[in-house]
Chain A
């Protein structure tokens, strides 16, 4: 069965509906019980501030939306990295792109950059530069270690990831002591506290545009996953496509990282699960992974909020605890079926 626009739209709507249901459900979950009925009565009831409304609108809503944006961005860039590197085990976290972005943001914080352009904070810009730099670094190391070696790239990512995490740790240790706890939490992946929706709007729009852009590259990604030689003879402008796709993936990853720190494995689990159900066609894998990734992270965040309430678990802990074992299972499965480099 080939993909038609009709069944693509149908599947996207279905996944979208699922996301909305999940978001609505998770709005009602939290360390504090709130009543939906009461919350829906507006900001005040007979002159008295409605605390349930406050919690729902100012605390949980921004947070759920944030989780959805981050999940969509990470899952989508996971798909892109997997396609171009021809490796089902790639993910922005495993490849070190997330920690590159993290390093960028930490440096921005330490230098005290606070400017914003078009709704983009210095943090995001620095984190984008960090992410792009890492993509370039991992890509060139992978190139040196072997033209088509899958392992070389993965190892490069692992090493870069470890190195950057260490530098981040170092920088946060020499920062003021009271900031240490915050950066630690951030490193483990946890959402910044937001009391307004406005900073989310610009990033949400960028992530959405990025996903649509990547969706338009769907055919190219399909062909690129057959390798560069094949892609070339099928008429793909390889350098340009790789640059656009990597750039866009790094952009949405860095937005996610600047909001949430290092949340791992979303880009690994979600595309894989979607591929199992809906097949490998990137024209549908990208939008579906975005929606399912959003839903997955909203749920993971809800778990993080309630499991040790009233304290809060970094959401990265939840995703890593589910994603780590999953990664190992995939690793065992794929080492059996994939030729790791040339014999």
Chain B
């Protein structure tokens, strides 16, 4: 059985259907990209996986068990989550924030041990956040803060990582760094990664599988070469563009009515 199984999952917000009969299985040690237009249910998909939302119909199984049957402490040992935007209320420092990932391992302990401190240092190092480890979250840029939350997910040391647009605020260098880091963790530590992104080209370069969610609850899944085909992208996103090839992988540049290069007229 796969690590994560979804069978006929249907979900609606106030009768506004988002996901319709979605079935997929995520093998352990795979790297998935979840892509799709705004409002197509990408974040909803992640929230269903981590038990934050319950499907209206269908099943979500994680590690052979219904996702809703786990206690939050058990689930925290399997899935870690990086969410989109976060507004800090109190002035917790970067290090304090990342340290919170260690809580579930020993809920009764009031203080962290050396193992926790080492794990947090490693996560800070890997995400390039060690230099501002003692600064409060509120004094970081959006991109720096995103890296802190990725560090927190790493420090949680779970077999599965869920990330909701983790690179949306990052500069090119850090985007590549995060993708490299995730790929490295997939290869070296056998992690399973599901990542929501709008960057189809990076998804094609790094991911093994793509889940493309359409606006009407339709979905496509498979290797990026098949799913991220220009015809498919144009019909789902409602945008035209140019598809080319670098070496083996395709890339897609969206083009509009007034862009300097015009979209290919064929499709």
Stretch from B26-34, B86-94, B182-190 forming part of the interface with A: B86-94
7 residue pairs from A and B, CB less than 8 Å apart: A87-B89, A226-B92, A232-B51, A233-B52, A234-B101, A236-B72, A339-B87
Closest to A3 in B: B111
Q: Which residues of B contact A (CB under 8 A)?
A: 50-52, 71-73, 75-77, 79-81, 83, 86-93, 95-97, 99-101, 103-104, 107, 110-112, 117, 134, 138, 156
C-alpha gap A131/B233 in the complex (Å) = 57
- List A residues 202-219 near B (Cβ within 8 Å): 215-216, 218-219
| A234 CA to B100 CA, complexed, in Å | 7
Interface size in chain A (residues, C-beta < 8 A): 36
Question: Which residues of chain B are near A95, meaning CB under 8 Å?
Answer: none
Q: Is A230 a contact partner of B72 (Cβ separation < 8 A)?
A: no
Decide: B99 and A337 in contact? CB cutoff 8 A: no
> Is there contact, CB below 8 Å, between B89 and A338?
yes
Q: Is the CB of B111 within 8 A of A235?
A: no
Within the complex, which residue of B50, B101, B110, B112 is in contact with A218, where a contact is CB–CB below 8 Å? B110
Q: Is A225 an interface residue (CB 8 A)?
A: yes
> A-side interface residues toward B, CB under 8 Å?
1-5, 83, 86-88, 215-216, 218-220, 222-223, 225-227, 229-230, 232-238, 275, 279-281, 283, 337-339
Cross-chain contact A283 with B110 (CB below 8 angstroms): yes
* Bound Cα distance A65, B35 (Å): 62
Task: For the complex formed, measure the closest distance between the CB of A211 and the CB atoms of chain B, giving whole angstroms.
Answer: 14
* Alpha-carbon separation in the docked complex, A280 to B97 (Å): 11
Quick one: closest A residue to B111, CB to CB? A5
Which are the 9 A-B pairs with shortest beta-carbon distances? A235-B104, A235-B76, A280-B90, A233-B81, A235-B73, A86-B89, A223-B100, A232-B72, A280-B91
Given contacts A219-B110, A234-B104, A237-B72, contact A229 B92 (CB under 8 A): no
A2 adjacent to B100 (CB under 8 Å) = no
Query: What is the distance, in angstroms, from A334's C-beta to the closest C-beta of chain B?
Result: 9
